[in-house]
Amino acid sequence: MPIRPMTEANLTHVLALQSALAFQNWNEKQFLSELRANYALCLVNEENGVFAGYAIFHLMEADSELLTIAVAPEFQRKGIASALLRHGLGKLNRDKGDHCFLEVREGNSKARALYEKHGFQAYGKRERYYDDGETAILYKW
């Protein structure tokens, strides 16, 4: 799975995928500030040169976080999100007490299955966390 650092040149594809999947609403400025943050790990995956997905982590040892992960519909269920997750989590050391946190919509069963497969455990929830009133489930790796 060809994974490499996200660059500004990827942002057109990243924004198009985000809006096609309608799961998050970051603007270009927010992605740019992630690209410039030295604690952020911004990754893309390309299959035979075709943009297929992205993920952004904040790597801060015990307070690390997965902020976003997405795979284009035509590339889903081929292990791409798993490869992106493994890449980011591979920078952490669970034995030394590193953790990775995330929050996800309660009804996002695909993402929840992905996270649970990779060792995340639900530890709490925030009721009506999202604008539309959906609850967020909090996960920790």
Q: Which is nearer to ligand COA, 92 or 114 (CB)?
A: 114
Give the nearest distance from C-beta 113 to ligand COA in angstroms: 4
Q: Which is nearer to ligand COA, 54 or 92 (CB)?
A: 54
Residues found near ligand COA in the complex (CB under 6 A): 21, 23, 68-71, 76-82, 104, 108, 110-111, 113-114, 117
Q: Could you tell me where the beta strands, DSSP code E, fall in the chain?
A: 3-5, 40-47, 50-58, 64-71, 100-105, 121-126, 136-140
The structure tokens listed for 124 are 């709490």
Q: Where are the alpha helices (DSSP H) in 48-89?
A: 80-89
Give the nearest distance from C-beta 47 to ligand COA in angstroms: 11
Burial 11-25 (b: 16+ CB within 10 A, else e): eebbeebbeeeeeee
Chain residue whose CB lies nearest ligand COA: 81
Give the nearest distance from C-beta 96 to ligand COA in angstroms: 26
